[in-house]
């Protein structure tokens, strides 16, 4: 004899996978506009690796590549900004010395 009773279904929710940042847009900006010592280009490689790891469902490696991209982007932006400011100051001093020499 079979008993017909309520069917109990258990359902396990998967743990949410963290979505690490990859900083692609920042890397692209640094590659185009702020690329001292090719740091912007190198910084663009790491977000692409991070996205590949995201697709492969490896959030640990994706986060690691993302952090590396963030550090390289920070260095590229700082060096590029400092270099630009130094160039502007040197040019202003040069043109002032030319004007004073007349």
Give pLDDT tens digits for 19-48: 889 899 999 999 999 888 999 999 999 999
Return d(Cα 27, Cα 3) in angstroms, integer.
Answer: 64
Residues 31 and 43: beta-carbon distance below 8 Å:
yes
- Our CA dihedral for 60, 40, 74, 45, rounded to 10 degrees, sits at 0
Q: How many domains does the chain have?
A: 1
Look up the domain containing 48 and give its range.
23-55+65-101
The reply to whether 87 falls in a domain is yes
- In this structure, what token pair is assigned to residue 87? 């160039």
pTM reported for the whole predicted model: 0.76
Would you tell me how many other CB atoms lie within 10 Å of the CB of residue 74? 15
The reply to whether 10 falls in a domain is no
pLDDT given for residue 75 in this prediction = 96
DSSP letter at 37 equals G
């Amino acid at each position: 004899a079979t008993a017909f009773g309520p069917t109990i279904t258990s359902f396990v929710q998967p743990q949410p996978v963290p979505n690490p940042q990859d900083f692609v847009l920042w890397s692209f900006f640094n590659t185009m506009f702020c690329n001292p010592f090719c740091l912007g280009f190198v910084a663009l490689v790491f977000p692409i690796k991070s996205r590949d790891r995201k697709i492969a469902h490896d959030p640990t490696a994706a986060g690691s590549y993302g952090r590396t991209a963030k550090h390289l982007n920070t260095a590229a932006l700082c060096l590029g900004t400092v270099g630009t400011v130094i160039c502007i100051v040197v040019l202003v001093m040069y043109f002032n010395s030319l004007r004073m020499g007349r």
